[in-house]
Amino acid sequence: MSNKIILAINAGSSSVKTSVFSYTSGGRLTAPPATLKYDRGDKHIKDKELSESDIDPKNAQEGAYEYILKTLTEDEGLTELKHADDIEFVCHRVVHGGDYDKPVRMDKDTYEHLEALSDLAPLHNAGALEIVKAVHEKSPKATNIAFFDNAFHQTLPAATRTYAIDQDVAKKNKLRKYGFHGLSYAFITSAVASHLNKSADDLNIIALHLGSGASACCIQGGKSIDTSMGLTPLAGLPGATRSGSLDPSLIFHFTHDAGKLSHGSSKDLHITTAEEILNKKSGWKALTGTTDFGVISKKAFEGDEKCKLAFDIFINRITDFVAAYYVKLGGKVDALVFAGGIGEKGSQLREAVVEKVACLGFGLDAAKNAKPGEQVVVEIGKEGFNHKVLVCQTDEQTEMARQCAIGAEQLKRPS
């Protein structure tokens, strides 16, 4: 049986990451990862990211897919993929899946259902769905599968996922904590369990996915028992352009037309001025003028006051979650795990966080923290401390491809 191609597309708030995998019908991912990140106009494709500025903004998602497809099919190193029809499955990271608790095959009904949820993930769902549409047009033979960022958090206990509001309204409008970055947390859980030689069912970790969007997750016995994002990815930690949690009344004092539909709203994105401000005009961008936390960290240590404040705010908020989750785990913590662009690359941030939670039994090996290396999971903790500190190169595309390869035959059938 010949190998089949899975394309995994991860539309984050600041990037579109694409990876190509091949698998055999037995459900095993084989050769790859030919893990490729693309940069438009650059034929040197490895470890490059497709940047939004290189794509026609009016047609960003379709243009992105067209570009990805062209580059992949023309890539001489990728002999398995010469034509759009060679792709068997396209996996899409869809941030908000509402009540879906497992991956679904995209058809008209699922598409419309997810479209209706777009308001709850204003930086994400609409873009991902545009890509689904583009794949449907350009690669009509491929099966599109949506993987949901909130599915990993279906194990949240009632007291964690329930907001203290009228429960009739909550149930009717499905207002609860969903949590996100679940593909990443699923990857982290299995990668850390295998690194520690443990069954995932016995793994207790505090995981931090710190990227453009940032969140924390409390994982007990391999399952999510709490996470910092909520009904939408806005809650919890601040991010590149997101405020994170704040007093819900704040917005009424910020601007008088907070509840009105924003000018930036399109037919696919019904967001109010309030949502626009808190999702797109806050966070690191509002505090410092840049969304690049690498730059913010560097400048903070050079004495730039705005960057120092942004850096300290992040450390302060992260510390709160680590402390709370440590208590939730009753101190039985296998490791504190840093992941996501900032978690993986931000040695200064890791140092500052671990220093704040040192009283809980975490310590860093300075040399390992400065250069953790390229392996999927790396230990950066200091000998003699109670708990491990790890860096995990998380990979949402690999997680989707793995789940896709396992459930491939079932996912092809109409649901």
Ligand X SMILES: CC(=O)OP(=O)(O)O
Ligand Y SMILES: Nc1ncnc2c1ncn2[C@@H]1O[C@H](COP(=O)(O)OP(=O)(O)O)[C@@H](O)[C@H]1O
| DSSP 8-state symbol, 359 | G
What stretches of 195-351 adopt beta strand conformation (E)?
205-210, 214-220, 223-227, 335-339
For ligand Y, give the closer residue by CB, 95 or 135.
95
189, 212, 272, 348: which one binds ligand X (CB under 6 A):
212
At its nearest, how many Å lie between ligand Y and the CB of residue 202?
Answer: 28
- Taking the C-alpha atoms of residue 107 and residue 145, their distance in angstroms, rounded to an integer, is 9
Catalytic: which of 85, 99, 149, 166? 149
* Dihedral over Cα of 11, 404, 192, 20: its sign: negative
At its nearest, how many Å lie between Mg ion and the CB of residue 225?
Answer: 22
Residues in binding site for Mg(2+): 10, 396
- Closest Cα to residue 217, out of 262, 185, 187? 185
**Phi and psi, residue 80, nearest 5°:** -70, -20
Residues in binding site for ATP: 17, 209-213
Residue 63 touching ligand Y (CB under 6 A): no
Q: Please count the residues of the chain.
A: 415
225, 240, 322, 411: which one binds ligand Y (CB under 6 A):
240
**Residue 281 corresponds to which amino acid?**
K
Binding to ligand X by CB under 6 A, coded x per residue (else -) over 137-176, reads ------------x---------------------------
| DSSP 8-state symbol, 334 | S
Residue 213 touching ligand Y (CB under 6 A): yes
Residue 283 touching ligand X (CB under 6 A): no
127, 222, 341, 381: which one binds ligand Y (CB under 6 A):
341
Interactions with ligand Y, residue window 295-324 (CB under 6 A): 297
Q: State the pairing for strand pair 87-94/4-11.
A: parallel
**Residue 293 corresponds to which amino acid?**
F
How many residues sit in the footprint of Mg ion (CB under 5 A)? 2
- Taking the C-alpha atoms of residue 97 and residue 37, their distance in angstroms, rounded to an integer, is 25
23, 100, 180, 293: which one binds ligand X (CB under 6 A):
180
* Contact stretch for ligand Y (CB under 6 A) within 95-103, 121-129, 146-154, 291-299: 291-299
9, 12, 38, 156: which one binds Mg ion (CB under 5 A):
12
Residue 211 touching Mg ion (CB under 5 A): yes
For the question of residue 149 being annotated catalytic, the response is yes
- Taking the C-alpha atoms of residue 111 and residue 19, their distance in angstroms, rounded to an integer, is 23
How many residues sit in the footprint of ligand X (CB under 6 A)? 10
| DSSP 8-state symbol, 382 | P
155, 170, 190, 294: which one binds ligand Y (CB under 6 A):
294
* Dihedral over Cα of 35, 185, 403, 61: its sign: negative
Interactions with ligand Y, residue window 95-154 (CB under 6 A): none
- Taking the C-alpha atoms of residue 30 and residue 112, their distance in angstroms, rounded to an integer, is 34
Interactions with Mg ion, residue window 372-391 (CB under 5 A): none
Which residues carry out catalysis? 149
